[in-house]
Structure 1
Amino acid sequence: MKRRRFLQHSLQAAAAATLAMSPQLSLSLSRRPDYDYILTAEEKPLSILPNTTSPALAFNGEFPAPVIRARQGEKLRVHFTNKLSQETTIHWHGIRLDNAMDGVPYLTQLPVKPGASFDYEFVCPDAGTFWYHPHMHSVEQLGKGLVGALIVEEKNKPAFDADVIVGFKDWRLNKDGSFKTLSEPRHAARAGTLGNVATVNGELLPEIEVPANATVRVRLLNMDNSRQFAISLGEHLGQDNASIIAIDAMPVPNKALDIHQLGVGMRLDLGLHTPADAGVEIPIYDVKGRFYQKVCSLRTTAPIRSTAPPAIPTLPPNPVSEPDVSKAETHRFVFEWAGAMTPVSASGHTHHEFWTINRRAWAGMHSANLPEPLAELELGKSYIFELHNATPHGHPIHLHGLIFKVLSSDKKNITPFFTDTILLEKNERATIAFVADNPGGWMYHCHVIEHMKTGLMGYIRIS
Structure 2
Amino acid sequence: MNVTRRQILAGLAGLGVVGLGAGNMRYWLGRPENVATHDYELIAAPLDVELVPGFKTPAWAYGGQAPGLELRCRQGERLRVRFINRLSEATTIHWHGIRLPLEMDGVPYLSQLPVLPGEYFDYDFICPDAGSFWYHPHTASGEQLGRGLVGPLIVEERVPSGFRHERTLSLKHWHVDKQGAFTAFSVPREAARGGTPGLLSSVNGTHNPTLALPAGQIVRLRILNLDNTLTYRLMLPGVEARIYALDGNPVEPRPLGKEYWLGPGMRIELGVLIPEVGQEIPVRNGPLRLATLKGVASSSEAAGAWPPPLPANPIAEPDLARAEKLRFNFEWAGAVSVGVEQGAAHSFWQINGQAWDIDDKSCVERPIATLKKNSHYIFELRNLSQYQHPIHLHGMSFKVLSSNRKTITPYFTDTYLLGKNETAQVALVADNPGIWMFHCHVIDHMETGLMAAIEVV
With normalisation by structure 1, the TM-score equals 0.90
Is 1:38 the counterpart of 2:37? The answer is no
Secondary structure, counterpart of 2:108 in structure 1: coil
* Map of 1:200 onto structure 2: 203
The residue identity in structure 2 corresponding to 1:270 is L
What SS is found at the alignment partner of 1:364? coil
The equivalent residue for 2:173 is: 170
Structural RMSD (CA): 1.8
Provide closer, same or farther for how the CA distance between residues 310 and 84 of structure 1 changes in structure 2, counting only shifts above 3 A: same
Q: Distance in 1 between matches of 2:314 and 2:359?
A: 33
Q: Structure 2: how far apart are the matches of 1:125 and 1:273? A: 30
* Residues 1:372 and 1:365: Cα distance change in structure 2 (over 3 Å): farther
2:145 counterpart SS class:
helix
Amino acid at match of 1:261: W
Write out aligned runs for 1:109-128 (5 A): 109-128=112-131
| 1:334 aligns to 2:332 (yes or no) | no
Residue 278 of structure 1: aligned partner: 277
Deviation at 1:301, TM superposition (A): 1.1
> 1:160: Cα distance to partner?
1.4
The residue correspondences of 1:36-435 to structure 2 (distance < 5 A) are 36-234=39-237, 236-237=238-239, 241-258=240-257, 259-275=259-275, 277-287=276-286, 292-305=287-300, 307-339=302-334, 341-345=335-339, 347-364=341-358, 370-435=364-429
Q: What SS class does the counterpart of residue 177 from structure 1 fall into?
A: coil
Long gaps (5+) in structure 2: 1-20
Gaps of 5+ in 1: 1-19
Deviations 1:9-41 (A, max 9, x none): xxxxxxxxxxx9746x66x41334961100111
Cα deviation, 1:66-95, whole Å, max 9, x if unaligned, reads 100001001000000111111110000000
C-alpha displacement of 1:357: 0.2
Q: Give CA deviations for 1:191-229 in whole Å, capped at 9, x if unaligned.
A: 001011111111111111111121210000000000001
CA distance in 1: counterparts of 2:55 and 2:353, whole angstroms: 45
Tell me the CA shift for residue 344 of structure 1. 4.8
Change (3 A) 1:56 1:303: closer
Does the C-alpha gap of structure 1 residues 369 and 453 become closer, same or farther in structure 2, counting only changes over 3 Å? closer
1:268 is aligned with what amino acid? Answer: I
Q: Does the Cα contact within 8 Å between 2:37 and 2:78 map onto a contact in 1? A: no
The within-5 A match list for 1:20-35 is: 22=23, 28-32=27-31, 35=38
Separation of aligned partners in 2, 1:363 and 1:347: 15
**1:283/1:181 Cα in 2 relative to 1: closer, same or farther (>3 Å)?**
same
Kindly indicate whether residue 452 of structure 2 is the aligned counterpart of residue 453 of structure 1.
no
Mapped partners of 2:350, 2:42: distance in 1: 35
Asked if 2 retains the 8 angstrom alpha-carbon contact of 1:264 and 1:396, the reply is: yes
Which residue is equivalent to 1:11?
A: none
Q: CA deviation at 1:346?
A: 5.5
Conserved? CA contact 2:59–2:66, under 8 Å: no
Alpha-carbon offset, residue 359 of structure 1: 0.5
Which deviates more, 193-202 or 296-305?
296-305
- Seen in structure 2, the aligned counterparts of structure 1 residues 83 and 212 have a Cα distance that, compared at 3 Å, is same
Instruction: Report the Cα distance in structure 2 between the residues aligned to 1:267 and 1:167, rounded to whole angstroms.
Output: 9
Offset of residue 184 of structure 1: 0.6
Q: Is the 8 Å Cα contact of residues 213 and 304 (structure 1) preserved in structure 2?
A: no
**Does the Cα contact within 8 Å between 1:273 and 1:312 map onto a contact in 2?**
no
**Equivalent position of 1:14 in the other structure:** none
Seq. identity, %: 48
- Kindly provide the amino acid, as one letter, of the partner of residue 76 in structure 1: L
Q: Which amino acid in structure 1 is aligned with residue 199 of structure 2?
A: N
Structure 1 residue 348: Cα displacement: 4.7
Does the aligned pair in 2 maintain the 1:92–1:131 contact within 8 Å? yes
Q: Quote the offset at 1:343 in angstroms.
A: 2.1
- Secondary structure (helix, strand or coil) at the match of 1:187 reads helix
- Is the CA contact (8 Å cut-off) linking 1:374 and 1:460 kept in structure 2? yes
User: TM-score under structure 2 normalisation?
Assistant: 0.91
SS at match of 1:30: coil
Q: Is the 8 A contact 1:106 1:366 kept in 2?
A: no
1:64, distance to aligned residue in structure 2 (A): 3.1
Secondary structure of 1:186's counterpart equals helix
Bigger mean CA offset, 358-367 vs 99-108: 358-367
Alpha carbons 1:214, 1:304 under 8 Å: kept? no
Number of residue pairs the alignment of both structures matches: 433
Structure-2 residue corresponding to 1:440: 434
**CA distance in structure 1 between the partners assigned to 2:71 and 2:303 by the alignment:** 32
User: Residue 267 of structure 1 aligns to which amino acid in structure 2?
Assistant: R
Structure 1 residues 265, 368: CA separation in 2 closer, same or farther (over 3 Å shift)?
closer
Give the Cα–Cα distance (whole angstroms) in 1 for the partners of residues 120 and 161 of structure 2: 36
